[in-house]
Amino acid sequence: MKVVMILSGGMDSVSLMHYLVSQSNEVHALSFDYGQRHRKELDCATKCAAALAVPHKVINISGIAPLVGKSALTDNIEVPHGHYEAENMKLTVVPNRNAIMLSLAYGYACTIEADALACGVHSGDHAIYPDCRPEFIEQLSTALATGTDGHRNPKLKIIAPFVNIDKGEIAKIGASCGVNFSETWTCYEGGDVHCGKCGACTERKEAFRDSGVPDPTEYLA
């Protein structure tokens, strides 16, 4: 199967890439530069794709910044610390971000006549990010199929293999597929080393702890 996937450079999407390759798919990875502060993830995406010889494009959509409002991920607002489920983590929501990236990637999947478009959303994101929930993925897949009906591959579907498992389970799958987690990036701060305190780092630490997969990450705290 020919699969386009969205590769952020984080442990979920890198694990997804390894998993899809392990299942004998022809994988094409896309990353989006939307002006995120944590640009290090784009370098990680490039490195991880190259390690698997997966064709990879980084698409610059930073011109859309005025549209999606202020978010701690792109603007000079302090990144909230603590756990994702807390109310203040909503500051890290870029409205409609997944729909934007999935719509763009779907256009690409049409162009290269792929069979599926994959993304690495998981159950731990459901509480805070509505665009990581299974019903959103299904509804968007239906809508985009309708909008491109008859164009090259009318059966193109959006798939989210990890949508019903949590980050700990993803760590186990990634480990079993040979992911080098030290080359993945999670932190929302713009530093050189994972901060260890932001919501993303908190969940990364928990995923390793819960799964028993060794955590190779260097944290500031």
How many other C-beta atoms are found inside a 10 Å radius of the C-beta of residue 140?
18
Q: Among the candidate windows 40-48, 58-66, 177-185, 190-198, which touches a second copy by CB under 8 A?
A: 58-66
Is position 159 an interface residue for a second copy (rule: CB under 8 A)?
A: no
Is position 183 an interface residue for a second copy (rule: CB under 8 A)?
A: no
CB 220 within 8 A of CB 192: no
Minimum distance from CB of 99 to a second copy (Å)?
4
Residue 122's contacts (CB-CB under 8 Å, 6 or more residues apart) are 12, 132, 162, 163, 165, 166, 167, 170
One residue of 76, 149, 192, 221 binding a second copy per CB under 8 A:
149
Report the distance separating Cα 211 and Cα 206, nearest Å.
Answer: 8
Cβ nearer to a second copy, comparing 69 with 190 = 69
Cα–chain center distance at 78: 22
Is position 108 an interface residue for a second copy (rule: CB under 8 A)?
A: yes
Is position 16 an interface residue for a second copy (rule: CB under 8 A)?
A: no
Cβ nearer to a second copy, comparing 22 with 139 = 139
Q: Which residue reads 């305190």 in tokens?
A: 197
Is position 46 an interface residue for a second copy (rule: CB under 8 A)?
A: no
Look up residue 94 and give its DSSP letter.
-
Helix, strand or coil for residue 58?
A: strand
Is position 178 an interface residue for a second copy (rule: CB under 8 A)?
A: no
Is position 152 an interface residue for a second copy (rule: CB under 8 A)?
A: yes
Is position 51 an interface residue for a second copy (rule: CB under 8 A)?
A: no
Report the distance separating Cα 12 and Cα 16, nearest Å.
Answer: 6
Helix, strand or coil for residue 208?
A: helix
For the packed helices 134-147 and 97-111, what is the interaxial angle rounded to 10 degrees?
40
Minimum distance from CB of 69 to a second copy (Å)?
3
Cβ nearer to a second copy, comparing 117 with 177 = 117
Is position 59 an interface residue for a second copy (rule: CB under 8 A)?
A: yes
Is position 127 an interface residue for a second copy (rule: CB under 8 A)?
A: no
Report the distance separating Cα 59 and Cα 104, nearest Å.
Answer: 10
CB 97 within 8 A of CB 69: no
Q: Among the candidate windows 36-44, 61-69, 185-193, 205-213, which touches a second copy by CB under 8 A?
A: 61-69
One residue of 47, 143, 210, 215 binding a second copy per CB under 8 A:
143
Interface with a second copy (CB under 8 A):
30, 57, 59-64, 66-69, 93-100, 102-108, 110-111, 130-131, 133, 135-136, 139-140, 142-144, 146-152
